[in-house]
A and B are shown apart, each in its own frame.
Chain A
Protein backbone atom coordinates (compact mmCIF):
# COMPACT_ATOMS: atom_id res chain seq x y z
CA UNK A 1 0.00 0.00 0.00
CA UNK A 2 1.46 3.32 -1.07
CA UNK A 3 0.42 6.28 1.05
CA UNK A 4 1.51 9.77 -0.01
CA UNK A 5 0.31 12.68 2.16
CA UNK A 6 1.59 16.22 1.69
CA UNK A 7 0.89 19.69 3.03
CA UNK A 8 2.04 22.29 0.50
CA UNK A 9 2.56 26.01 1.03
CA UNK A 10 3.06 26.87 -2.65
CA UNK A 11 0.71 26.52 -5.68
CA UNK A 12 0.68 23.05 -7.27
CA UNK A 13 -0.37 21.48 -10.55
CA UNK A 14 -2.60 18.43 -9.84
CA UNK A 15 -1.57 16.71 -13.10
CA UNK A 16 2.02 16.66 -11.95
CA UNK A 17 1.00 14.35 -9.09
CA UNK A 18 -1.84 12.32 -10.65
CA UNK A 19 0.19 10.93 -13.58
CA UNK A 20 3.04 9.47 -11.50
CA UNK A 21 0.58 8.21 -8.86
CA UNK A 22 -1.40 6.28 -11.50
CA UNK A 23 1.75 4.92 -13.14
CA UNK A 24 3.03 3.69 -9.77
CA UNK A 25 0.14 1.19 -9.52
CA UNK A 26 0.26 -1.17 -12.49
CA UNK A 27 -2.57 -3.66 -12.49
CA UNK A 28 -5.06 -1.31 -10.88
CA UNK A 29 -8.74 -1.53 -11.81
CA UNK A 30 -9.56 2.12 -11.30
CA UNK A 31 -8.33 5.49 -10.10
CA UNK A 32 -10.64 8.10 -8.64
CA UNK A 33 -9.38 11.67 -8.30
CA UNK A 34 -10.96 14.75 -6.80
CA UNK A 35 -9.45 18.23 -7.15
CA UNK A 36 -10.92 21.13 -5.17
CA UNK A 37 -10.25 24.71 -6.25
CA UNK A 38 -10.98 28.17 -4.88
CA UNK A 39 -14.53 28.90 -6.01
CA UNK A 40 -15.46 32.01 -8.02
CA UNK A 41 -19.08 32.19 -6.85
CA UNK A 42 -18.63 35.53 -5.19
CA UNK A 43 -16.86 38.34 -7.03
CA UNK A 44 -16.22 40.14 -3.76
CA UNK A 45 -13.73 37.52 -2.59
CA UNK A 46 -10.22 38.57 -3.58
CA UNK A 47 -8.27 35.78 -1.91
CA UNK A 48 -8.60 32.85 0.45
CA UNK A 49 -6.13 31.94 3.18
CA UNK A 50 -5.84 28.59 4.89
CA UNK A 51 -3.91 28.49 8.13
CA UNK A 52 -2.49 25.25 9.48
CA UNK A 53 -0.75 24.28 12.71
CA UNK A 54 2.69 22.80 12.19
CA UNK A 55 2.43 20.32 15.05
CA UNK A 56 -1.00 18.89 14.16
CA UNK A 57 -2.27 19.49 10.63
CA UNK A 58 -0.07 17.13 8.62
CA UNK A 59 -0.17 14.48 11.38
CA UNK A 60 -3.98 14.67 11.29
CA UNK A 61 -4.00 14.24 7.49
CA UNK A 62 -1.75 11.19 7.82
CA UNK A 63 -4.04 9.71 10.44
CA UNK A 64 -7.04 10.29 8.17
CA UNK A 65 -5.25 8.59 5.26
CA UNK A 66 -4.52 5.59 7.50
CA UNK A 67 -8.20 5.35 8.44
CA UNK A 68 -9.23 5.43 4.76
CA UNK A 69 -6.69 2.70 3.99
CA UNK A 70 -7.99 0.56 6.86
CA UNK A 71 -11.58 1.01 5.71
CA UNK A 72 -11.31 0.53 1.93
CA UNK A 73 -9.47 -2.02 -0.16
CA UNK A 74 -6.93 0.25 -1.87
CA UNK A 75 -3.67 -0.08 -3.77
CA UNK A 76 -2.63 3.51 -3.15
CA UNK A 77 -3.83 6.79 -1.67
CA UNK A 78 -2.59 10.29 -2.46
CA UNK A 79 -3.66 13.26 -0.32
CA UNK A 80 -2.38 16.79 -1.00
CA UNK A 81 -3.63 19.93 0.71
CA UNK A 82 -2.58 23.56 0.34
CA UNK A 83 -1.98 26.04 3.08
CA UNK A 84 -1.38 29.77 2.68
CA UNK A 85 -2.93 32.46 0.47
CA UNK A 86 -4.76 31.32 -2.69
CA UNK A 87 -6.65 33.07 -5.47
CA UNK A 88 -9.75 31.99 -7.42
CA UNK A 89 -9.10 28.95 -9.59
CA UNK A 90 -6.07 27.71 -7.65
CA UNK A 91 -6.17 24.09 -6.48
CA UNK A 92 -6.65 23.66 -2.72
CA UNK A 93 -6.89 19.91 -2.37
CA UNK A 94 -6.20 16.74 -4.33
CA UNK A 95 -7.25 13.24 -3.27
CA UNK A 96 -6.60 10.26 -5.50
CA UNK A 97 -7.23 6.59 -4.73
CA UNK A 98 -6.16 3.56 -6.76
CA UNK A 99 -7.90 0.22 -6.27
CA UNK A 100 -8.70 -3.08 -7.95
CA UNK A 101 -12.35 -2.11 -8.06
CA UNK A 102 -13.98 1.26 -8.72
CA UNK A 103 -16.32 1.37 -5.72
CA UNK A 104 -13.44 1.19 -3.25
CA UNK A 105 -11.59 4.01 -5.03
CA UNK A 106 -14.65 6.28 -5.30
CA UNK A 107 -15.75 5.73 -1.70
CA UNK A 108 -12.22 6.24 -0.34
CA UNK A 109 -12.01 9.65 -2.05
CA UNK A 110 -15.51 10.62 -0.84
CA UNK A 111 -14.67 9.56 2.74
CA UNK A 112 -11.33 11.38 2.74
CA UNK A 113 -12.80 14.59 1.30
CA UNK A 114 -15.69 14.70 3.80
CA UNK A 115 -13.21 14.37 6.66
CA UNK A 116 -10.75 16.89 5.23
CA UNK A 117 -13.57 19.43 4.86
CA UNK A 118 -14.93 19.19 8.36
CA UNK A 119 -12.49 17.41 10.61
CA UNK A 120 -8.97 18.57 9.81
CA UNK A 121 -6.86 21.27 11.40
CA UNK A 122 -7.35 24.17 9.01
CA UNK A 123 -8.69 27.64 9.65
CA UNK A 124 -9.95 29.64 6.72
CA UNK A 125 -10.44 33.32 6.04
CA UNK A 126 -11.30 35.29 2.93
CA UNK A 127 -10.23 38.71 1.82
CA UNK A 128 -12.87 41.17 0.70
CA UNK A 129 -12.67 44.87 -0.12
CA UNK A 130 -12.99 45.70 3.59
CA UNK A 131 -10.36 43.25 4.78
CA UNK A 132 -10.07 39.65 6.04
CA UNK A 133 -13.03 37.66 7.40
CA UNK A 134 -12.85 34.32 9.21
CA UNK A 135 -15.04 31.51 7.86
CA UNK A 136 -17.10 29.67 10.45
CA UNK A 137 -17.74 25.91 10.27
CA UNK A 138 -20.71 24.96 8.08
CA UNK A 139 -23.51 22.68 9.27
CA UNK A 140 -23.46 20.91 5.90
CA UNK A 141 -19.92 19.70 6.52
CA UNK A 142 -21.04 17.97 9.70
CA UNK A 143 -24.00 16.25 8.06
CA UNK A 144 -21.63 15.08 5.29
CA UNK A 145 -19.39 13.59 7.97
CA UNK A 146 -22.25 11.73 9.66
CA UNK A 147 -22.71 9.63 6.49
CA UNK A 148 -19.67 7.61 7.52
CA UNK A 149 -20.84 6.61 11.00
Chain B
Protein backbone atom coordinates (compact mmCIF):
# COMPACT_ATOMS: atom_id res chain seq x y z
CA UNK B 1 0.00 0.00 0.00
CA UNK B 2 0.98 3.60 -0.51
CA UNK B 3 -0.14 7.20 -0.15
CA UNK B 4 -2.18 8.81 -2.93
CA UNK B 5 -1.52 12.48 -3.67
CA UNK B 6 -4.43 14.41 -5.20
CA UNK B 7 -3.73 17.70 -7.00
CA UNK B 8 -6.64 20.15 -7.20
CA UNK B 9 -7.16 23.12 -9.50
CA UNK B 10 -4.09 24.56 -11.16
CA UNK B 11 -1.78 22.31 -9.13
CA UNK B 12 -2.85 19.46 -11.42
CA UNK B 13 -1.53 21.46 -14.39
CA UNK B 14 1.83 21.95 -12.68
CA UNK B 15 2.36 18.20 -12.34
CA UNK B 16 0.49 17.15 -15.48
CA UNK B 17 -1.77 14.74 -13.59
CA UNK B 18 -4.42 14.95 -10.88
CA UNK B 19 -3.14 11.97 -8.88
CA UNK B 20 0.17 10.38 -8.00
CA UNK B 21 0.93 7.35 -5.85
CA UNK B 22 3.95 7.63 -3.56
CA UNK B 23 5.56 5.47 -0.91
CA UNK B 24 4.15 5.42 2.63
CA UNK B 25 4.67 6.78 5.20
CA UNK B 26 4.82 10.41 4.10
CA UNK B 27 5.65 13.47 6.18
CA UNK B 28 6.04 17.13 5.15
CA UNK B 29 9.72 16.78 4.23
CA UNK B 30 8.95 13.61 2.28
CA UNK B 31 6.25 15.48 0.38
CA UNK B 32 8.65 18.31 -0.52
CA UNK B 33 11.26 15.76 -1.64
CA UNK B 34 8.62 14.18 -3.85
CA UNK B 35 7.44 17.48 -5.38
CA UNK B 36 10.36 19.28 -6.99
CA UNK B 37 10.19 22.48 -9.04
CA UNK B 38 7.15 24.75 -9.47
CA UNK B 39 4.76 22.31 -7.75
CA UNK B 40 7.03 22.19 -4.70
CA UNK B 41 7.04 25.99 -4.51
CA UNK B 42 3.25 26.14 -4.92
CA UNK B 43 2.69 23.62 -2.12
CA UNK B 44 4.86 25.65 0.25
CA UNK B 45 2.84 28.85 -0.28
CA UNK B 46 0.76 29.85 2.76
CA UNK B 47 -2.47 29.81 0.80
CA UNK B 48 -2.04 26.20 -0.33
CA UNK B 49 -3.78 23.90 2.14
CA UNK B 50 -3.34 20.18 2.76
CA UNK B 51 -6.01 17.65 3.72
CA UNK B 52 -5.66 14.00 4.71
CA UNK B 53 -8.65 11.79 3.87
CA UNK B 54 -10.84 14.88 3.50
CA UNK B 55 -9.80 16.49 6.81
CA UNK B 56 -7.99 19.83 6.52
CA UNK B 57 -4.68 20.09 8.40
CA UNK B 58 -4.38 23.17 10.62
CA UNK B 59 -0.61 22.92 10.19
CA UNK B 60 0.39 21.24 6.94
CA UNK B 61 4.00 20.83 8.07
CA UNK B 62 2.63 18.35 10.65
CA UNK B 63 1.65 16.02 7.78
CA UNK B 64 1.91 12.38 8.83
CA UNK B 65 0.29 10.15 6.22
CA UNK B 66 0.34 6.37 6.39
CA UNK B 67 -0.39 3.61 3.90
CA UNK B 68 -3.87 3.96 2.39
CA UNK B 69 -4.18 7.68 3.13
CA UNK B 70 -5.21 10.21 0.50
CA UNK B 71 -3.34 13.53 0.73
CA UNK B 72 -5.03 16.41 -1.12
CA UNK B 73 -3.15 19.56 -2.13
CA UNK B 74 -5.61 22.45 -2.27
CA UNK B 75 -4.80 25.82 -3.88
CA UNK B 76 -6.97 28.86 -3.01
CA UNK B 77 -10.59 28.25 -4.08
CA UNK B 78 -12.00 30.41 -6.84
CA UNK B 79 -15.56 30.10 -5.59
CA UNK B 80 -18.71 28.60 -6.98
Contact = CB atoms under 8 A, between A and B. Distances in A.
B54 A56 contact: yes
B6 interface: yes
Given A59-B54, A137-B77, A123 B72 contact: no
Nearest to B79: A117
Nearest to A82: B80
A120 B9 contact: no
Interface residues of B, number: 18
Given A51-B8, A123-B10, A136 B78 contact: yes
A137 B79 contact: yes
Q: Mostly helix, strand, loop or mixed at chain B's interface?
A: loop
Contacts of A124: 78-80
A56 B75 CA distance: 14
Interface residues of A, number: 26
A17 interface: no
Contacts of A123: 8-10, 75, 77-78
A85 B8 CA distance: 16
Interface of B: 6, 8-10, 13, 51, 53-54, 56, 70, 72, 74-80
